[in-house]
Structure 1
């Protein structure tokens, strides 16, 4: 991203969400103008319309799985392209107003995914508390800060506690300490240049349902040593029992082996929707991809040498 101060990035608000925490880990995104929206759907819609240059959304959590509204919008309702992924550890905290005693809390507010990730803590410490859904963990913190009752708590970030003048009554209350969430940066178009450590995301729609059709798709990746980091089925919205497949692949569309694989899939009885090739988060794992590219290039040279003898 160039000239970041002139760019607008939209994400889920209000201030203090995990999304904001993830965004602030990216120097260029932190320097851009920030536009906050009430829902993921609003972020995606306003990115598609051009109100913001980029959208930044959670798409997958290690415990609760996919954020379906984001994934489905990319597949069915937009032509947005993924530009980058960001992965951060998720630490949940119980937030309260000053003076609140935990065992007197009667209601806990948070985003449904967040409440689901602290079930054990709530069961053991606040078994009778009412659970109330909010649009985000930061929205829950905002609701708590505005509540006249001292018997309300929220599950949220330390960032939200700072922003809304709340206290952290209990830290790291998540059921699974290794929990992480994956976020994506999206734009109306554009494919970032390959970095050597990239992912490609696609949706594969079967044109007909027949035995072995999924196996035939997966064999194309296996034959080229392309690693799948995600495979998930979702209804196509066309008929009961009709499913498409979301795949995240190690590699970039600029890699000859990836390009050849997707080209071959297009010749089969499937439709491929390309969601983007982009820099991947985490440790680099490109050796197998490089070997596959080299092998494909050698095979192409071999074929070209034979074809050159055609009269």
Structure 2
């Protein structure tokens, strides 16, 4: 269970919270972190990848991690989903959204027609695929660990690199002293990435009325109808799902778990009932937190599934047991 994202460190000290995030400076993750806590409020700990950022919380090297979990174009960030699904329990405390755009940048003096290799994070490359095919069809992709790692390399010593340019966030161009070769190269200018704040288990924050609960669930069996049986636990209680993705469990082919975002809070009657149903029929359910959502709910609460409806039904059954109702 989750503690407040702005709570004091677990050791009871008054020091600033330490946030691990995907670095170096200028990444979209840093932009997300700045929405959570400014550099004068928290200690920033750049990491080489999202797994390292999450593991820093598990080992106690950081108090929180800020990581991308979902992109509106590419879907879920599988490394984050898989790392949260296993290992010591962690929870999501908060989510933030960051608009995503890219610039093709290079060292001063480089021309667009000179570019033969481009370094980019795989998600950045995927989001600029059509533009690249249209304007630089023969260019070679050199994968990068983050959206600003190649910018830092280009800004370093004038040594030979296996690429001539990089796809980077717009602020990174000036930060690293690069020259923009082309702006607005993303195929979808409305792309957005959802980031989450990850922390150790603790007291769940109270519901706000606009919340999200994230879970990892294994199917109850490998038989026909198993997925339906799992989904019915939500549908029967009026819980809407805003995201569901299958991920391999890893122990054998054909065995999958499901990463799920459900609309509502564990304190809501309908969500609690759904969780109890999952616990009864599924072999593994990992609760990854209930936290305020930043996007609009996808569906309304269905009649008969409000808290008062569950309370009234429970009272009626109790009266039946006591012989006071029929």
Evaluate the alpha carbon distance shift between residue 84 and residue 270 of structure 1 in structure 2; reply closer, same or farther with a 3 A threshold.
Answer: same
Q: Secondary structure at the match of 1:245?
A: strand
**Residue of structure 1 equivalent to 2:169:** 157
In structure 2, the residue matched to 1:309 is: 323
Aligned partner of 1:44 in structure 2 is 54
Q: Which runs of 5+ in 2 are unaligned?
A: 1-5, 9-13
How far apart, in 1, do the equivalents of 2:297 and 2:79 lie? 29
**Distance in structure 2 (CA, Å) of the matches to 1:213 and 1:207:** 6
Specify the SS of the correspondent of 2:118: strand
Superposition pairs of residues 139-154 of structure 1, within 5 angstroms: 139-146=149-156, 148=158, 152-154=164-166
Number of equivalences: 310
Q: 1:297 corresponds to which residue?
A: 311
- Which region of structure 1 is more displaced relative to structure 2, 266-275 or 42-51? 266-275
Query: Residue 270 of structure 1: SS of its match in structure 2?
Result: coil
The structure carrying a bigger helix percent of its residues is 1
Give me the whole-angstrom Cα distance separating, in 2, the residues matched to 1:84 and 1:289. Answer: 26
- TM-score of the pair, normalised by structure 1: 0.92
Deviation at 1:129, TM superposition (A): 2.2
Deviations 1:209-254 (A, max 9, x none): 1111111111121112111011111111121111111111000111
* Correspondence 1:288 to 2:298: no
Which of 194, 205, 211 is the equivalent residue of 1:182? 194
Alignment match, 1:18: 28
Residue 3 of structure 2 is matched in structure 1 by: none
- Give the Cα–Cα distance (whole angstroms) in 1 for the partners of residues 38 and 297 of structure 2: 21
Which of 300-309 and 255-264 deviates more? 300-309
* Secondary structure at 2:148 match in 1: helix
Give the CA RMSD over aligned residues: 2.2
Distance 1:158 1:268, change over 3 A: same
| Unaligned stretches of 5+ residues in structure 1 | none
Q: Does structure 1 retain, via aligned residues, the 8 Å contact 2:237–2:273?
A: no
The question of 1:240 aligning with 2:250 is answered: no
> Residues 112 and 56 of structure 1: is their aligned pair in 2 closer, same or farther, counting only changes over 3 Å?
same
- Equivalent position to 1:197, from 194, 205, 210: 210
Paired with 2:116 and 2:39, the residues of 1 have a C-alpha distance of 39
After superposition, where does 1:227-266 map in structure 2 within 5 Å? Answer: 227-266=240-279
Aligned-partner Cα distance in 2 for 1:2–1:267:
33
Aligned: 1:222 with 2:249: no
Q: TM-score, normalised by structure 2?
A: 0.88
